[in-house]
């Protein structure tokens, strides 16, 4: 996703228009499974703690980045849901914020709450140091069971153009708004090298498997780029569910 220039008016309407034109990417399962199996399992997940990198799915028909860990703090939905929707997201990405505000609540209502879909999140830092700092903060909130609340707070406040500044004091304010219970622990975790290492590994893994724009999604053997209209996500998830029957 290109960085909007200062002269570009990036309103919600223009963001939607841009991603309506984004192409849907069909992933060849055999090739992707082999590639992702080597890269993600062997490189990006080694050496991370269970909290930082929940266990991979043991289902033979799922790609290796699908975790299906009941204790995963960066996932929502039934661990045994027929379909897992994997999302790569950057907390400074305006398109990710658009998806979070306009589309994700409907997907949660129609698919997650009904037990049809589980959503697992992967953080990436594509827009500089503040993106990485925000990923660390989101993981620190996740460690206290407040990942979704923190991410929701950040995206709710995101501007409609450009990439927001997310300095330390702003991240702490979002944690307070999200209801993170132990703020002393949260603040300390912002400086935890293990958490930062996990966030950096997540970005590297995304780049190694070819995720070079956000938001980016995979359900079953099909990938989708961008904050597409809700109908596109319904088609994606319904098609993935049909393959599990």
Residue 61: the pLDDT is 72
The 222-225 sheet, strands edge to edge: 24-26, 222-225, 216-219, 83-89, 117-123, 75-76
Lowest-confidence pick of 38-47, 112-121, 158-167: 38-47
The pLDDT of 195-212, averaged and rounded, is 96
Q: Is the pLDDT of residue 45 over 70?
A: no
Who's near 83: CB < 8 A, 6+ residues apart?
111, 116, 117, 118, 219, 220, 237, 240, 241, 244
DSSP at 56: P
Q: How far, in whole angstroms, is CA 107 from its chain's centroid? A: 14
Q: Are 103 and 217 in contact (CB under 8 A)?
A: no
Whether residue 125 has pLDDT greater than 90:
yes
Residues 6 or more apart in contact with residue 239 via CB below 8 angstroms:
219, 220, 222
How far apart are alpha carbons 200 and 197 in whole angstroms? 5
Mean pLDDT score, 128-147 = 98
Is the distance from CB of 155 to CB of 94 less than 8 angstroms? no
Question: What domains does the chain contain, in order, with CATH numbers?
Answer: 82-243 (3.40.30.10)
Q: How confident is the model at residue 57 (pLDDT cuts 50, 70, 90)?
A: low
Alpha helices (runs of H) in the chain, residue ranges in sequence order: 12-20, 29-36, 94-102, 104-107, 129-142, 147-156, 168-178, 183-189, 193-208, 230-244
Residue 72 binned pLDDT confidence (cut-offs 50, 70, 90): very high
Kindly report the length of the chain: 245
Look at 50 and 93; give whichever has higher pLDDT: 93
Q: Read off the pLDDT of each residue in 77-103 and give the average, rounded to a whole number.
A: 97
What's the pLDDT tens digit per position in 175-185? 999 999 999 99
User: Contact, 171 vs 193, CB < 8 A?
Assistant: no
In this structure, the number of other CB atoms found within 10 A of the CB of residue 162 comes to: 16
Q: How far from 178 is each of 77, 162, 183, CA to CA, in Å?
A: 19, 23, 11
């Amino acid at each position: 996703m290109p960085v909007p220039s200062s002269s570009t008016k990036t309103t919600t309407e223009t963001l939607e228009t841009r991603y309506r034109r984004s192409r849907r990417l069909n992933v060849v399962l055999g090739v992707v499974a082999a590639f992702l199996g080597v890269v993600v399992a062997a490189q990006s997940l080694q050496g991370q703690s269970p909290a930082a990198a929940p266990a991979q799915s043991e289902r033979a028909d799922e790609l290796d980045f699908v975790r299906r860990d009941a204790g995963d703090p960066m996932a929502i939905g039934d661990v045994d849901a027929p379909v897992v929707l994997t999302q790569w997201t950057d907390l400074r990405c305006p398109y990710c914020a658009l998806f979070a505000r306009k589309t994700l609540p409907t997907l949660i209502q129609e698919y997650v709450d009904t037990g049809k879909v589980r959503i697992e999140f992967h953080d990436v830092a594509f827009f500089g140091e503040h993106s990485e700092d925000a990923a660390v903060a989101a993981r620190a909130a996740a460690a206290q069971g407040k990942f979704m609340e923190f991410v929701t707070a950040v995206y709710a406040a995101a501007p409609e153009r450009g990439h927001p500044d997310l300095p330390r004091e702003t991240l702490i304010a979002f944690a307070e708004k999200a209801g993170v219970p132990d703020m002393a622990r949260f603040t300390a975790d912002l400086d935890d090298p293990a958490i930062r290492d996990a966030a950096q590994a997540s970005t590297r893994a995304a780049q190694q498997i070819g995720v070079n724009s956000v938001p980016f999604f995979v359900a079953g053997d099909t990938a989708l780029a961008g904050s597409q209209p809700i109908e596109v996500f319904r088609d994606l998830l319904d098609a993935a569910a049909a393959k599990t029957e």
